């Protein structure tokens, strides 16, 4: 199944879906001040909604998603 497109993380996913499909995302989320694994909203709130509730702007959210997708080095996003 080499021709299947690679699934990428995106800010429209719920935190639950993100963590389920991309387990490495938990460390990146935590590094960005998001401790979503135990949050009741993790199943219904999108990554974008949750990040904005925590004061992140669009550029910070996009950079974090790129980190999860392995497009930039895994390091803390400046808040």
Structure confidence by residue, pLDDT tens digits, 37-64: 778 888 889 999 999 999 999 999 999 9
In-domain check, residue 76: no
Rounded Cα–Cα distance for residues 75 and 53 (Å): 21
2 is a domain residue: no
- Asked if the structure places residue 21 within a domain, the reply is yes
28 within domain boundaries: yes
Domain that holds residue 49: 15-68
Does residue 37 belong to any structural domain of this protein?
yes
Q: Which residues pair with 19 in a beta bridge?
A: none
Residue 59 falls within a domain, yes or no?
yes
Residue 38 domain flag: yes
For the chain, what is the domain count?
A: 1
Would you give the distance in Å from CA 16 to the centre of its chain? 10
Whether pLDDT at 79 is above 50: no
Q: Poorest-confidence range of 2-6, 30-34, 38-42, 75-79?
A: 75-79
Question: Does the residue 3 lie in any domain?
Answer: no
32-44 pLDDT, tens digit each:
999 877 788 888 8
Instruction: Kindly report the pTM of this predicted structure.
Output: 0.80
């Amino acid at each position: 199944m080499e021709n299947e497109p690679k699934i990428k993380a995106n800010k429209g996913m719920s935190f639950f879906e993100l963590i389920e499909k991309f387990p490495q995302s938990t460390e990146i989320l935590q590094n960005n001040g998001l401790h979503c694994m135990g949050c009741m909203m993790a199943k219904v709130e999108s990554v974008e909604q949750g990040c904005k509730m925590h004061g992140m702007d669009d550029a910070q959210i996009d950079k974090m998603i790129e980190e999860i997708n392995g497009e930039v080095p895994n390091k803390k996003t400046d808040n």
